[in-house]
Amino acid sequence: MMLYTPGDSSGNALGMIASHEPAGIVVRVGKDCGQNWKVGDRVGALNYKNSCGKCSGCRLSLRTSKKQSLDPRFCEKRQTAGFHHDGAFAEYLAIDPETTVSLPPSLSFEQAAPLMCAGATVWGSLEKATRELEAGDTVAIVGIGGLGHLGLQFATAMGFRTIAVDSRPAGRQLATEMFNESLRPALVVDSVSEHATSQIMDFTNGEGVAAVVVCTDSLAANSWALTLLRIGGVMGVLGLPAENWRFDSSVIVFKELTIRGSYVASRESTERMMEAVERASIRSHITLMSFDEIPGIVAVYQDSGFKGRLVVRLAE
């Protein structure tokens, strides 16, 4: 299961159980869960649960969903495991059938856990940012950590040419470390190099990239990423900076650019992600730790040389 690392965080009450990216085995099915799940199923769960079914977010999701199903992401009374409610560092966890997905047979629980937030977040943004693109178009991923590493693999598996961008040597190295080597990016760029922009423009024959997904909250990185887009390009923003965003309005207007937010992913989108993971052998770069090692996790995560995602195994 995946650790939620505290940062500038959420005002959690002392004693709350942490972790928000669970993967495990179903041991009990509630009477109102329908016929889709059974004891013994291998599943992962998104972080949101218990929609009220009555608020504006719930009413909208029921009206606009193709399956007329609730989307707990937008419920005003939703529960968020590991942030405001107990999470997955426990022997058992109650999950919501509206945000539960089956795991591919080839995928371990350790590999599944990072997909349930990091993976779903960058996948959801990519689906939105590339909706009108064609195979062979160029997509850049800025910030190659746990999200960006998966984003590169997803985008390549979708049929796009990919560019990996990071200021850190560890991030650029991670961009080349793929379980499926065919998913490596076509170009790796050091964002602090004076030649970074020209490298990307040369690679795209002067047009710029069709889409960019930015997996960092750096204001400078996001502002710069916007300038890399071709006319009509789309930028997906995933960072949550402490300060307000600052973008050049002229480039947005005169190049008809779109800046698109994305909030993790729906269950349906996450199911499509799992299909891509199985089809293209997509894997996270993980550091596996035991439950007893949890007190030292923050120090590991804050090391500038750390790569990928931290996963805690609760049971053999």
Query: What CATH number is given to the structural domain containing 247?
Result: 3.40.50.720
Same domain, 217 and 123: yes
Same domain, 91 and 163: no
- The predicted pLDDT at position 194 comes to 96
Q: Euclidean distance between the first and final Cα of the chain, in Å? A: 12
Same domain, 172 and 203: yes
Nearest CA-CA partner of 121 in 226, 244, 286, 273: 273
pTM for this entry: 0.90
Q: How far apart are CA 53 and CA 170, in angstroms?
A: 44
Q: How far apart are CA 93 and CA 49, in angstroms?
A: 12
Same domain, 58 and 128: no
Q: How far apart are CA 6 and CA 82, in angstroms?
A: 10
Same domain, 138 and 92: no
Running along the chain, 316 residues long, what does each successive block of 10 average in pLDDT? 44 73 94 87 93 95 84 92 82 91 95 96 98 98 96 98 97 95 98 97 98 97 98 97 92 98 95 98 90 82 75 76
R_g of the chain computed on alpha carbons: 19
Q: How far apart are CA 211 and CA 225, in angstroms?
A: 10
Nearest CA-CA partner of 297 in 287, 284, 285: 287
Same domain, 30 and 81: yes
Same domain, 86 and 150: no
Range of the domain at 51: 23-102
Q: How far apart are CA 51 and CA 65, in angstroms?
A: 15
- The predicted pLDDT at position 175 comes to 97
To 10 degrees, what angle do helices 120-129 and 267-280 make? 100
Q: How far apart are CA 232 and CA 124, in angstroms?
A: 20
- The predicted pLDDT at position 113 comes to 94
Is residue 301 in a domain?
A: no
Same domain, 98 and 133: no
Total of domains in the chain = 2
225 contact partners, CB below 8 Å, separation of at least 6: 140, 142, 165, 212, 214, 235
Same domain, 155 and 185: yes
With the C-alpha atoms ordered 48, 42, 309, 276, is the resulting torsion angle positive or negative?
A: negative
Is residue 257 in a domain?
A: yes
Q: How far apart are CA 142 and CA 165, in angstroms?
A: 5
